[in-house]
Amino acid sequence: MERTDAAYDTDWEYYDDFYADVDDLDFYTALARRAGGPVLELMCGTGRVLVPLARSGLEVTGIDSNHLMLEKAHRKLSREPADVQKRATLLNADARQFELGRRFNLVILAFSSVNHLLTPDDQDRSMACIRRHLSDDGLLAVASFIPHPAKLHSGKLDREVELSNGDLLIRHSTLSSDAAGTLMHVGYRWQVERAGRMVREWNSELDLRLLKPNQLKALLEGAGLQLVERWGGYRDEPLDPKGDVVVFVATPRIVWKENAKLLAR
């Protein structure tokens, strides 16, 4: 299987600084409290979501295939109190092929991680693994950006973020998509400026699978799941196909229960 995490070999260092303002933590914490532990976060990266979940008292396992992202998560966890550390487990594994021999009440694929599954094969393998690891009344939460054709071909200065030491982190991105509109290629140019002088510069690139809300829904349904919630953000916003984000919560469709009801008639 081809690597889908190579961009993070360079981008791990400033990941948390750049994405500090993503406002999904309360959403996942509330969902995890509702579902109850244990929680599995696939593609957990630096533990941006996983560490707060462990802090909130839940047992949580994180899987990621990039060892630098995981090392950062380990370092963050090592600064937490012993009970938080005890509740968190980090595993270096591929989301398309893993077997933990146990089931979870909540599985999370946060922050467009699902878009790293580049081919239908990758998607099917990962969904089959998720289904095997989800308890029969468990929940799967998946968030993806919503692709809009007008935004898929552009070069722009994304954003500048001030780092804790006063340096400025600057990212420019160039986006393009294939003719079929299934994959987006993203090129990033990163720069760090100190007192107006550039002190570091590097490039990274990645591909992402484009998923319209109905395609994501079909992917989940194909894996034997049914949607129980659909959101357009992390604060109860209704799903808007013209919006930026789709968040689905799904649960296994237990066919045998329906069959059992039919047989009892």
Ligand X SMILES: C[S@@+](CC[C@H](N)C(=O)[O-])C[C@H]1O[C@@H](n2cnc3c(N)ncnc32)[C@H](O)[C@@H]1O
Query: Would you count residue 245 as binding ligand X (CB under 6 A)?
Result: no
- Tell me whether residue 229 is exposed, middle or buried, using C-beta atoms within 10 angstroms of its C-beta: 0 to 12, 13 to 18, 19 or more: middle
Query: Would you count residue 129 as binding ligand X (CB under 6 A)?
Result: no
Within 10 Å of residue 1's Cβ, how many Cβ atoms? Answer: 11
Q: Is there a contact between 26 and 234 (Cβ–Cβ < 8 Å)? A: yes
Query: Would you count residue 119 as binding ligand X (CB under 6 A)?
Result: no
CA–CA gap between residue 62 and residue 43 (Å, rounded): 7
Reading the block at residue 140, the tokens are 């799967």
Query: Would you count residue 45 as binding ligand X (CB under 6 A)?
Result: yes
Name the 3-class secondary structure at 54.
helix
Query: Would you count residue 44 as binding ligand X (CB under 6 A)?
Result: yes
Shortest spacing between CB 139 and ligand X, in angstroms: 17
Shortest spacing between CB 4 and ligand X, in angstroms: 4
Query: Would you count residue 188 as binding ligand X (CB under 6 A)?
Result: no
Q: Which of 54, 77, 95, 247 binds ligand X (CB under 6 A)?
A: 95
Q: Which of 39, 40, 43, 106 binds ligand X (CB under 6 A)?
A: 43
Q: Is there a contact between 38 and 60 (Cβ–Cβ < 8 Å)? A: yes
Sign of the alpha-carbon torsion through 107, 42, 98, 46: negative
Quick one: 202 or 254, whose CB is closer to ligand X?
A: 202
Name the 3-class secondary structure at 198.
strand
Cα–Cα distance list, 250 to 93, 180, 228 (Å): 23, 28, 5
Query: Would you count residue 56 as binding ligand X (CB under 6 A)?
Result: no
Query: Would you count residue 211 as binding ligand X (CB under 6 A)?
Result: no
Reading the block at residue 256, the tokens are 């045998």
Query: Would you count residue 54 as binding ligand X (CB under 6 A)?
Result: no
Query: Would you count residue 5 as binding ligand X (CB under 6 A)?
Result: yes
Query: Would you count residue 8 as binding ligand X (CB under 6 A)?
Result: yes
Query: Would you count residue 113 as binding ligand X (CB under 6 A)?
Result: yes
Quick one: 171 or 261, whose CB is closer to ligand X?
A: 171
**Total site size for ligand X, rule CB under 6 A:** 21
Query: Would you count residue 66 as binding ligand X (CB under 6 A)?
Result: yes
Query: Would you count residue 69 as binding ligand X (CB under 6 A)?
Result: yes
Query: Would you count residue 29 as binding ligand X (CB under 6 A)?
Result: no
Cite the DSSP H helix spans in the chain.
8-11, 15-18, 25-35, 50-55, 67-78, 82-87, 120-133, 213-222, 255-264
Residue 246: its H or E element: strand 245-252
Q: Which of 111, 145, 190, 234 binds ligand X (CB under 6 A)?
A: 111
Shortest spacing between CB 179 and ligand X, in angstroms: 24
Query: Would you count residue 94 as binding ligand X (CB under 6 A)?
Result: yes
- Which residues of this protein are in contact with ligand X, per CB under 6 A? 4-5, 8, 43-45, 48-49, 63-66, 69, 94-96, 110-113, 116
